[in-house]
Amino acid sequence: MSSIATGYDLSASTYSPDGRVFQVEYANKAVENSGTAIAIRVKDGVVFAVEKVVTSKLLVPGANRRIQIIDRHIGMAMAGFLADGRHLAARARDEASNLRELYGPPTIRSVADRLGLYAQAYTLYSSVRPFGCSAIIGGYDKDGPALYCVEPSGVSYGYNGAAAGKGRTLAKNELEKLKFSELSTREAVYEAARIIHLVHDDAKEKDFELEMSWIGQESNFRFVPVPDDLFKDADQKARDALENFD
């Protein structure tokens, strides 16, 4: 940050002279340094995919998941600090549980709105810091498939295709080419795998794990990991497509 940040970036409760909150901007930078997370909302469901960079060969494959189950019909993918993301996932589960007790099965919008309010509260006080994590929340409720992204500032937008993390710009460019209303969840799995492999190509010196989950008719409208046979096929076709492109 430039010298204009001097003295104004020590607290999340302080504005700079030009109306910026630097702590929130720093949190966004933390998200941009993370592996890419995307989600695609299609006509019959939602598909999540995450690029999980392998930082050590000693790590157990499948550990430290970046896709979390919030409710039977709601899931969340995170980009940024994993610990912050886990805390937001736990909070989202609490909010979904409270909504279920009061009103029945929660809608994705209500959970995203409540989580956004919680994240925004951490931008108001000098004794706390904003969450260094963006949460992509999606699922299938009474209104059909829905997808939202909660940013460190607390703002949440509805999306057809959402992306967060280091490869966000390239991923959004690829998502904009898709015809969401014509895709099925099975087709979206192949597209999501292709996009994650494409955005990782810029940092191909590092190994990564592809992590995918979905919800739709094929999963009986429950948020579950993508079946192994479909996952392996999509992963392999994405690798082949990237090699042919190169």
In contact, 78 and 39? CB cutoff 8 Å: no
Q: Is pLDDT of 81 > 50?
A: yes
Per-residue pLDDT at 183: 94
Give 14-60 pLDDT, tens digit per residue.
898 888 999 999 999 999 999 999 999 999 999 999 999 888 888 88
Per-residue pLDDT at 155: 95
pLDDT > 90 fraction of the chain, expressed in percent and rounded? 78
Q: Which of these CATH numbers, 3.40.50.300, 3.40.605.10, 3.40.140.10, 3.60.20.10, describes 33-244?
A: 3.60.20.10
Q: Which residue has the tokens 């192994």?
A: 228
Per domain, the residue ranges of the chain are 33-244
Task: Give the Cα separation of 238 and 227 in Å (integer).
Answer: 16
- CB within 8 A of 77, min separation 6: which ones? 37, 38, 39, 48, 49, 50, 66, 67, 68, 135, 136, 213
Task: Give the Cα separation of 232 and 230 in Å (integer).
Answer: 6
Per-residue pLDDT at 95: 97
Q: Is pLDDT of 200 > 50?
A: yes
Average pLDDT, the chain: 92
CA dihedral 131, 136, 137, 138 (to 10 degrees): 180
More confident residue, 179 or 246: 179
Task: Give the Cα separation of 154 and 217 in Å (integer).
Answer: 31
Per-residue pLDDT at 90: 97
Give 201-242 pLDDT, tens digit per residue.
765 667 889 999 999 999 999 999 999 999 999 999 998 888
Residue range 96-112: mean pLDDT, rounded: 96
Per-residue pLDDT at 1: 47
pLDDT band per the 50, 70, 90 thresholds, residue 150: very high
Give 114-136 pLDDT, tens digit per residue.
999 999 999 999 899 999 999 99
Per-residue pLDDT at 119: 97
Per-residue pLDDT at 13: 87
